[in-house]
Structure 1
């Protein structure tokens, strides 16, 4: 996932899911040159938050791999995702066996008796598609469980979300922001009409400003309408900053938006990973610049302690 739209999709999924799960991005799948876009494990202590997340909350009620596609995927792309799902399940089983093995035993020994293996939940695969992937729906005998949501044949644990078929409701808003064309334009309009304190706005607005989806470069003809809508959103956001007294100009307003978004993102990541943060750590993050926030954010997933993320105070 390299372009702005894909990066936006991955980040907004991670941020929204962090309300009720412990999502990770760019999860390495061992023994394969693949990475899971977003892997989410639900936190039972945050069931109430997940219940308020609409369709995304329903889809994240079990351990799940999320694979968003800005364009409609074909069979080859979905098969690649299924390979990630199976390889990741194998890795989860390996880790469970290693954790359950006596000290000194090798997790690579002969396959243990199935009755003695630790129970490992098979993760669901959620493929998010802008359009309707006819070949995929047919190949895996998918049936519609609600508008825009399909389940594959039993045993596959495959869900297909067709963004263009989702109803235009608040429950689907976060997912519709991952769409294109009409779907994205309507989602942006719905987001702009929400209350200022809506959780969807707190998740989406900083990311829309940060990624901009081609705002600073010439859009292709296919993306003209989308870019125009996002440009309007960006300008509205800047106007809000000016109205609040931060009228130092477009660049300073954007930097402030990026810093606030980066701060909120890092705090959520750290709390999900390490629990409640000391006041001194929050103060350091509040005082950090954009470059520091980005550097610390890159360390979160691989760090075992807060010190490995932030380093010693200067």
Structure 2
């Protein structure tokens, strides 16, 4: 039984297939995972598809309504992550269209950036600034992180 599994990270993906208390606790544990956790990459798609299916027909039970509510934060995180990844790709593409291949240290910094406002600044700079201004702006953030 899924309810007998220990509430630990190694059982999380299996517990997400449960119901009731087991599923509620698994969703709580899932929400607490770091953004780069492998379990997040594996489980997010199926969890969001399940949520979308329940939301589309309307929750039939209080348990289904709770799943829709408790996974709303995950939906918002997924959307925000997509926006930041898209802006990072767009920034790299724009830079490379203007200046040629982006140095790997800058590319890594742009791909790792999770602050959408910063990515938007870099994107604007990649479109309007000089190569040196882009390098200086990104390098300043890299230097700030390592100090």
Report the TM-score when normalising by structure 1: 0.25
Q: Give the structure with the higher percent helix.
A: 2
Report the TM-score when normalising by structure 2: 0.49
Q: Give the structure with the higher percent strand.
A: 1
